[in-house]
Chain A
Amino acid sequence: MPNITSDKLQDSYDVVIVGSGAGGGQTAYTLTMEGLKVLILEAGRSFDVQTEVAMLQLPSHAPLRGEKTPDKQYGFHDCSINSGWDIPGEPYTNASKAPVDEFRWWRQRMMGGRTNHWGRITLRNGPYDFKPRTRFGLGFDWPISYDDIAPYYDKVEMLIGVFGSNDGLENSPDSSPGVLQPAPKLRVGELYAQKHGKKAGAHIVSIHRAVLTQPQDANTLPAKLHPGNAKAQAILADSMRTRSPCFWATDCHRGCAIRANYDSQTVHLRPALATGNLDILPNAMAREVTLDKKGRASGVTFIDKTTGREGHAKGRAVVLAASSQESVRLLLNSKSSAFPQGLANSSGKVGKYITDSVSSSLSAYIPAFEGMPIHNEDGAGGPHAYVPWTLHAQNAKGQLGFPGGYHLEFTTGRQMPSLNVINGIDSRAGHDGVLFGAKLKEEARRTYGCQMGFGAQGTMLPNDGCFTEIDPELKDQWGIPVLRFHWKWTDFELNQVRHQQQRIREILEAMGGRISAKADNDPAKLIRRGGEVIHEVGGAIMGADREISVTNQWSQTWDVKNLFMADGAPFASTADKNPTLTIMALAWRMADHLMDEMKKGNI
């Protein structure tokens, strides 16, 4: 079973999945490896990472030196096609025009979804992150604890390949022994920050990223992941053997033709297809989840974008993994006499409680790096180190003015120059006027690689002001009603940003850095907009109480027992961790439950 066209759809599948990214890919992998017949509907086109990705191209090989344009909103070589904040014909709206109340929605319309171009940072949520109500008296406790999901974190990490170190941190859990690949060596700037950041209380350790630093152990991992399933083991071993470890060049956001880093298509979908149990229908824009007479999900109606015609895919169960807000949109657009306010929405909570990472950033010029001996520090195409959150004691005592915390990601070093590489050079070099000629060349070389930037990503607990609904008037080019967003930061997020700025400033100053930003103490101006970190989750949150949540602990909707969510929609809050690894771990756990229920005859 392969990539298909809509005339090749089978009469019915065990499971129909909407979306082929991290959640859809993981779900399809888990189910097909165990023999279920699965269909994925993907709104974007197929994409071949091995022939279409430009790994080693320079900016000068691209139009406009690869700078962002309205066509390629993260730059020419970024592995996002037909994707962006703004997609022609696929609008969304905001209820408020005030910039600080704006939600920005990135959509990735291609096979593999956002996993094609993400940063591959894979931090685990910790025990506190699942119980904010217990710990802070705020937000909602998730109906699961860290212990419920820890085995799935291990499994996902072994499958996709994650490098990093186990540092015994509070609330930033270690992986089980033997799970992580070795972390790459730190770069000069990372080591320098590690040494001098201590003065400002920054404890810098290796980051976890989904990049292979050595070949995967195809002889032992498959048996750990699929005990007793010889066919699955063989397929996975084959897949692992075709992946190469990192070759220490190029930006991971470009996609990885050698399959060193995880993306859904090459790591999840490839072995899933090899089972013979998966059909993938690209260019299929899901419109509505259909119900049978008993109130169970019967399949998904979609628009075939190649013909403009509507089709329907039937399944015994339906899994929504279209990205959190796209899945919410599907639920809200699936209205029936049983669910006049949208499918699985008896609680009225579909679309509610959207969160994103709380983020701000600050950078500085580090004079100590001037005149650095020339060397190659590309490394693993992204950060090798980060600053985990460690102020748990202060935060538990309520001394910080916000719940949860934040980690800091930072970049430093002698990266591939972009068009903006000399920006700010005149003031950096202490030159009054515009440098040019031999002096410009000399200063450019002396000051290159001296910038260091820190960005925070923090906890956001849900609030009533952040939600989405169907816009009463606007439809997209397929005639499908679009979403209207509402966004409100609370004092907690703004307090957190104030703290982030102060802490980053202290760390940069501890390194002798000259802060480049003008002093601005207004956190509402410094906070990154809702959705802008592209970590938006929620909208169909899980809970122990069906009155105030949309799914149970298995990401199974309370109202429709054969309808499941496998993206960020069931997240009850955003931790100070990037969400993708948790999306995959929850999806694997959900898929196991789905199969159990099928075996028991409940679905």
Chain B
Amino acid sequence: MSAPKDLPRMDRRTALQWMLTATASMAARDAQLVAADAASSNAKGYGPDPVMAKVYKPGDVWPLTFTEPQRRATRALCDVIIPADAASPSASAVGVHDFIDEWISSPYPAQAGDRRVILEGLKWIDEESARRFSKTFAELSPEQQLALCTDLAASKPKPELKKGAAFFKRFRDLTAGGYYTTPEGMKAIGYVGNVPSGSFEGPPIEALKHVGLA
């Protein structure tokens, strides 16, 4: 028997997953990661029969990993990636750094590779910050943080930044995913559902007009 793959059932949770181009690449990544030496924790998973009707927070089901310096760097990076604006809070304000800690601390094989990428990346970015500015990443000014991240986010990063750029991309994906799955993030992206209601009225007229249906 093989490990579960990221292939959806047709008539079930379906679709979101069909749509996601990244699904295939995640599956491919998993294979590498299982083999990776990620120094993963000895914690157990939540098991096949967890209490579903409960609110969990990072640290509830397995111990977290980050040291205080790692945590500071993570918070700072989260907020460069998702800063606060007039309409919505920053990523760290809704605890995305704790989610990333939970993710890389998980005992499951799919997260093991991320554990290594993130822990090594946090070390790398503090070293790079020290080399450029003689400070840790969290201590940099907003302009310095932006300058460094802009280099990492470039379409063709310099060869010496390649490792940092791969880390930044994965960190960005986890940060944004972690953010948009919180109530504040859902509001920020424009998801307004999950509200029980007595009727379903269908699309409003302005939505129909938007796509030329009214």
Q: Which residues of A contact B (CB under 8 A)?
A: 45, 51-54, 56-79, 81-88, 91-94, 102, 104, 106, 117-119, 121, 184-188, 191-192, 195, 246-251, 253, 357, 359, 361-363, 368-369, 371-380, 383, 409-412, 414-425, 432-438, 440-441, 444-445, 448-449, 451-455, 457, 516-517, 528-529, 532-535, 578
Of the residues A75, A247, A436, contact of B153 by C-beta under 8 Å: A436
The answer to whether A247 and B11 have CB atoms under 8 Å apart is no
Q: How far, in Å, is B30 (CB) from chain A's closest CB?
A: 11
The secondary structure that dominates the A interface is: loop
> Which residues on the A side are within 8 Å of B52 (C-beta)?
52-54, 57, 76-77, 79, 81
The answer to whether A57 and B55 have CB atoms under 8 Å apart is yes
Q: How far, in Å, is A145 (CB) from chain B's closest CB?
A: 26
Of the residues A61, A102, A361, contact of B56 by C-beta under 8 Å: A61
Q: Which residues of B contact A (CB under 8 A)?
A: 1-4, 6-7, 9-23, 26, 45-56, 60-61, 80-83, 85, 88, 99, 102-103, 106, 108-111, 146, 149, 152-155, 165, 168-169, 172-174, 176-178, 180-183, 185-186, 188-204, 206-208, 210-213
Q: How far, in Å, is B3 (CB) from chain A's closest CB?
A: 7
Nearest B residue to A50, CB-CB = B53
Of the residues B13, B60, B80, B190, contact of A75 by C-beta under 8 Å: B13
Of the residues B22, B26, B186, contact of A58 by C-beta under 8 Å: B186
Known: A60-B183, A441-B88, A528-B7. A410 touches B15 (CB 8 A): yes
Known: A58-B181, A248-B196. A516 touches B19 (CB 8 A): yes
Q: How far, in Å, is A259 (CB) from chain B's closest CB?
A: 14
- Beyond the given A70-B109, A119-B14, please list 10 additional residue pairs across the A-B interface where CB-CB is below 8 A: A54-B54, A58-B194, A65-B99, A74-B9, A81-B52, A104-B2, A362-B18, A372-B210, A411-B15, A528-B7
The answer to whether A249 and B195 have CB atoms under 8 Å apart is yes
The answer to whether B197 and A248 have CB atoms under 8 Å apart is yes
Q: How far, in Å, is B36 (CB) from chain A's closest CB?
A: 17
The answer to whether B22 and A424 have CB atoms under 8 Å apart is yes
The answer to whether A250 and B19 have CB atoms under 8 Å apart is no
> Which residues on the A side are within 8 Å of B1 (C-beta)?
85-86, 91-94
> Which residues on the B side are within 8 Å of A54 (C-beta)?
52-54
Complex CA gap A380/B202 in Å reads: 11
> Which residues on the B side are within 8 Å of A62 (C-beta)?
56
The answer to whether A85 and B204 have CB atoms under 8 Å apart is no
Q: How far, in Å, is A234 (CB) from chain B's closest CB?
A: 28
Of the residues B2, B61, B88, B153, contact of A63 by C-beta under 8 Å: B61
Q: How far, in Å, is B206 (CB) from chain A's closest CB?
A: 4
The answer to whether A423 and B173 have CB atoms under 8 Å apart is yes
The answer to whether B13 and A185 have CB atoms under 8 Å apart is no
> Which residues on the B side are within 8 Å of A420 (C-beta)?
16-17, 20, 22-23, 26, 177
The answer to whether B213 and A375 have CB atoms under 8 Å apart is no
Nearest A residue to B178, CB-CB = A65
Q: How far, in Å, is B94 (CB) from chain A's closest CB?
A: 8
The answer to whether B56 and A188 have CB atoms under 8 Å apart is no
For B49, B149, B152, B178, which residue has the most chain A Cβ atoms within 10 angstroms?
Answer: B49
Of the residues A359, A437, A441, A452, contact of B19 by C-beta under 8 Å: A452
Can you list the 3 inter-chain pairs with the closest CB atoms, starting with the nearest? A411-B15, A185-B202, A119-B11
Known: A186-B202, A417-B185. A118 touches B12 (CB 8 A): yes
> Which residues on the A side are within 8 Å of B149 (C-beta)?
436-437
Nearest A residue to B193, CB-CB = A378
Q: How far, in Å, is B150 (CB) from chain A's closest CB?
A: 9
> Which residues on the B side are within 8 Å of A78 (C-beta)?
13
Nearest A residue to B26, CB-CB = A420
Complex CA gap A374/B176 in Å reads: 20
21 sampled A-B residue pairs with Cβ under 8 A = A60-B181, A63-B106, A118-B12, A185-B203, A187-B202, A188-B208, A188-B213, A191-B208, A363-B21, A373-B210, A375-B192, A378-B200, A409-B10, A412-B15, A414-B190, A418-B177, A423-B23, A445-B188, A448-B191, A517-B21, A533-B9
Complex CA gap A372/B48 in Å reads: 39
Complex CA gap A93/B1 in Å reads: 6
The answer to whether B108 and A70 have CB atoms under 8 Å apart is yes
> Which residues on the A side are within 8 Å of B108 (C-beta)?
64, 69-71
The answer to whether B195 and A417 have CB atoms under 8 Å apart is no
The answer to whether B201 and A453 have CB atoms under 8 Å apart is no
Q: How far, in Å, is A246 (CB) from chain B's closest CB?
A: 8
The answer to whether A436 and B172 have CB atoms under 8 Å apart is yes
Of the residues A73, A371, A433, contact of B4 by C-beta under 8 Å: A73
The answer to whether A417 and B186 have CB atoms under 8 Å apart is yes
Known: A63-B60, A422-B173, A424-B20. A357 touches B10 (CB 8 A): yes
